[in-house]
Chains A and B, each alone.
Chain A
Amino acid sequence: MTTVPSAHDVLVVDSLVRRFGDLTAVDGVSFRIAPGETYGLLGPNGAGKTTTISMIAGLIAADSGTVKVAGQRMTPATTEPRRHLGLVPQELAIYPELSARENLTLFGRLQGLSGKALSARVEEVLELIGLADRAKSLSKEYSGGMKRRLNIGIGLLHQPTLLILDEPTVGVDPQSRNQILESVEALSADGMAVLYTTHYMEEAERLCDRIGIIDTGRLQAEGTRDELIRLTGGVDTIRLSGSGDLAAAAERLRALEGVERVEADRRTATLTVRDAPVLVASVVGTVAGSGVTLADVEISRPDLESVFLHLTGKALRD
């Protein structure tokens, strides 16, 4: 279900356009993020994700269109709306000659924190990003994953209303990656709104309440994962195999609400259904009731990859 746009949206992006010479890097992008919502911008390299974010964070000017953060207009000249925003740039925007604690303290000061509140918050974030025991080492000595985590920690130090993460898991080992995803989930559970860009569809699926699919500077489609998948007109598949007569059970399966088609022989059956996870229990029950002993049940659903393919005619990753 789509969040109803409201006056309280933490971010309102309206018809953003940005050109670099002849290239239109961002071409009329509009979307909104509600408080506490995690919004994903999913798109391949060069889609315009970073350019969009740079305009949202007031780093570069838009050729046209507007950005409102917490109700305030954001431009490169405004200071006030930046308080509500935490940016985690795609690059490692940390000072290698400073330790994690020094990095956090410096950027915390720039965000307007000071005194005890600052030092307490710094320790909290060091725990959160798992760097408390290495807080004193210069960050140039950290592993890639540790640097990434520090990069994120700086962005959320001042507890922004909206945290913007630009491909935070690029070049990260699977373990660190999982750690990063978990902390984003935790932040989101705490009520922080998150704008998350990625070209990994698994990340978008796992983290995001709503997803915008962006390609060649245009927002191709937007919605929850399920809404997007419905766009493909695609349906789920449930494959069954077992002993007993599956063909005999087929008639009763066809009668189930939500099942569109059944192809079966004695040992296997393939069902085309509308919402496999919801339906699978009654499918299994029905088959078992027909005296079939199931050996295997397999659900397959179209994913965002199929959505991207459907919308743009090309694969998300080359």
Chain B
Amino acid sequence: MRQLLALAASDLRMRIRDRSVLIFALVVPLALMFVFNLVFGNTDDIEIEPVTVAVSAPAGDDLAAVVGEVLRSLDGMDGLDVTVRETTADDGRRQVEDGDAALAVLVPEGFGEAARTGDAVTVEAVRGDEAGLEADVVLSAVDGVLDQLGTGAVTARAGLAEGIPPDQLAALAEQATAGGPAYELRQGEASDEQLDAGASLVAGQAGLFLLFTVSFGVTSLLVDRETGTLARLRSMPIPAWTIVGSKALVSFVLGVVSTSVLLLAGSFFFDADFGSPPAVALLVVCVVAAATSVMFLIARVARTSEQAGIATSIVAVVLGIGGGAFFPVSATGRFAPLLDLNPVAALLRGLGTTSGGGGVADLGVPIAIMLGFAATTWVLSRLVPDRGALA
């Protein structure tokens, strides 16, 4: 242990003297934060404006009325200010043309019946030229409701076959609609779980460059191998794991320090608030552990320090971009859940939780992802054959 610390201390001293770690771990990511903030910074100033929606629904159609209800219920949610005006289809169109309403949602005659029988039906939405982001938010909520009503329609059809009376079907359809989480899901996405623009810029860059930073500890193992220093180290009366352990410790310390400094500097320069310090510290420690173990996999597979450098860049870019270091990423399809297993994504997600007031207890999923990732890559790194080994 004493020897491990002696080795790690010397290594740290060299990394600091060498300065490239300072540049990669702090200077470049900070500079990039400033650049990206200049380029994308205006997204910071998005103001949600009040929005007026004209709705026409056929009288006596309780399913059609649900659409209006949903729109009204959006008012006040996520800072949306929604005014719903009941009107006729023609008047709704005219209001949008005149700019009196940002959006008109026109539910056709026979909508409820069509939904019950499962027939195709089109709800028309008219969007004003001047309409802003908030109109799109409202539209997506309407989309969600219609999707849910599709579910309702299926329920209705199945019910008919079994001979349930039509008035009960209406209730069933509404139940299916009310129970469905279509717009609740969107609500979750846009809530406290998300970092604001400044914070996600800081967290994203910190997550991306973390992978470069930790690579310094580990590639020094490959440099030692190339210079013969590893042979010398191996000839000494210390257990072999001491050498690898000291490199891991160096990576870990560099990673924790640089990520902490970046998050602190970020909150200072970009007004990011990441919330509870102990919870953030826990996230940092776990993401650094995950990043460090990736490097050991690379150190194992790479033959030379140059190869390791290239591999590090690829992994950093893939995990960084996949994790949303530059822009939010969402994927659909069979492999989408894989994207969530990315430690950078988990870091951003965890910081979203802490910035929304979450504490250590709320970090179960991101922490589990990071530690699971760390454990898996570590085991993998022990399993793959050591391509550049002495033996």
Q: Which residues of A contact B (CB under 8 A)?
A: 54, 57-61, 76, 79-80, 82-83, 85, 87, 89-95, 97-98, 102, 106-107, 109-112, 114, 138, 154-155
Q: CB of B234 within 8 A of chain A? A: yes
A160 CB → nearest B CB, Å? 10
- How far, in angstroms, from A80 to B237 measured CA to CA in the complex? 6
Residues of B within 8 A of A61 (CB): 391
Residues of B within 8 A of A85 (CB): 235
- How far, in angstroms, from A98 to B6 measured CA to CA in the complex? 13
Known: A60-B391, A98-B13. A111 touches B229 (CB 8 A): no
Q: Check B228–A107 contact: CB distance below 8 A.
A: no
Q: Check A82–B236 contact: CB distance below 8 A.
A: yes
- How far, in angstroms, from A102 to B2 measured CA to CA in the complex? 16
- How far, in angstroms, from A263 to B287 measured CA to CA in the complex? 88
Map CB proximity to A onto B238-253 as digits: 1 under 8 Å, 0 otherwise: 1110000000000000
- How far, in angstroms, from A79 to B236 measured CA to CA in the complex? 8
Q: CB of B46 within 8 A of chain A? A: no
Q: CB of B122 within 8 A of chain A? A: no
Given contacts A60-B390, A93-B232, 20 further A-B contacts (CB under 8 A): A57-B234, A80-B237, A82-B235, A82-B237, A83-B237, A87-B231, A87-B232, A90-B228, A93-B228, A93-B231, A95-B14, A97-B14, A109-B2, A110-B237, A110-B238, A111-B236, A111-B237, A114-B2, A154-B232, A155-B232
A187 CB → nearest B CB, Å? 17
Interface of B is mostly: helix
- Chain B residue at minimum C-beta to C-beta distance from A78: B237
Instruction: Identify 8 residue pairs between A and B in the complex whose beta-carbon atoms are under 8 Å apart, listed by A's number.
Output: A79-B237, A89-B231, A95-B14, A97-B17, A102-B13, A110-B6, A138-B17, A154-B232
Contact partner, A92, options B6, B10, B228, B235, Cβ 8 Å: B228
Q: Check B239–A79 contact: CB distance below 8 A.
A: yes
Contact partner, A58, options B10, B229, B235, Cβ 8 Å: B235
Q: Which residues of B contact A (CB under 8 A)?
A: 2-3, 6-7, 10, 13-14, 17-18, 227-229, 231-240, 390-391
A149 CB → nearest B CB, Å? 15
Q: Check B10–A95 contact: CB distance below 8 A.
A: yes
Interface of A is mostly: loop
Instruction: Tell me the total A-B contact number using a CB cutoff of 8 A.
Output: 79
- How far, in angstroms, from A102 to B318 measured CA to CA in the complex? 39
Q: Check A79–B238 contact: CB distance below 8 A.
A: yes
- How far, in angstroms, from A76 to B236 measured CA to CA in the complex? 11
Residues of B within 8 A of A109 (CB): 2-3, 6
Residues of A within 8 A of B232 (CB): 87, 89, 93, 107, 154-155
Residues of A within 8 A of B237 (CB): 79-80, 82-83, 110-112
A150 CB → nearest B CB, Å? 12
Residues of B within 8 A of A114 (CB): 2
Residues of A within 8 A of B231 (CB): 54, 57, 59, 87, 89, 91, 93
- How far, in angstroms, from A212 to B10 measured CA to CA in the complex? 39
Interface centre among A95, A98, A112 (most CB of B within 10 A): A95
B389 CB → nearest A CB, Å? 9
B13 CB → nearest A CB, Å? 7
Known: A98-B13, A98-B14. A58 touches B227 (CB 8 A): no
Residues of B within 8 A of A79 (CB): 237-239
Contact partner, A110, options B3, B227, B390, Cβ 8 Å: B3
Interface centre among B13, B14, B228 (most CB of A within 10 A): B228
Interface centre among A58, A92, A107, A155 (most CB of B within 10 A): A107
- Chain A residue at minimum C-beta to C-beta distance from B10: A106
Interface centre among A57, A82, A94, A97 (most CB of B within 10 A): A97
- How far, in angstroms, from A112 to B391 measured CA to CA in the complex? 25
B331 CB → nearest A CB, Å? 43
- How far, in angstroms, from A54 to B231 measured CA to CA in the complex? 8
Q: Check A107–B236 contact: CB distance below 8 A.
A: yes
Q: Check B238–A59 contact: CB distance below 8 A.
A: no
- How far, in angstroms, from A308 to B10 measured CA to CA in the complex? 45
Residues of A within 8 A of B227 (CB): 91-93
Q: Check A106–B228 contact: CB distance below 8 A.
A: no
- How far, in angstroms, from A107 to B231 measured CA to CA in the complex? 13
Q: Check A59–B18 contact: CB distance below 8 A.
A: no
B242 CB → nearest A CB, Å? 8
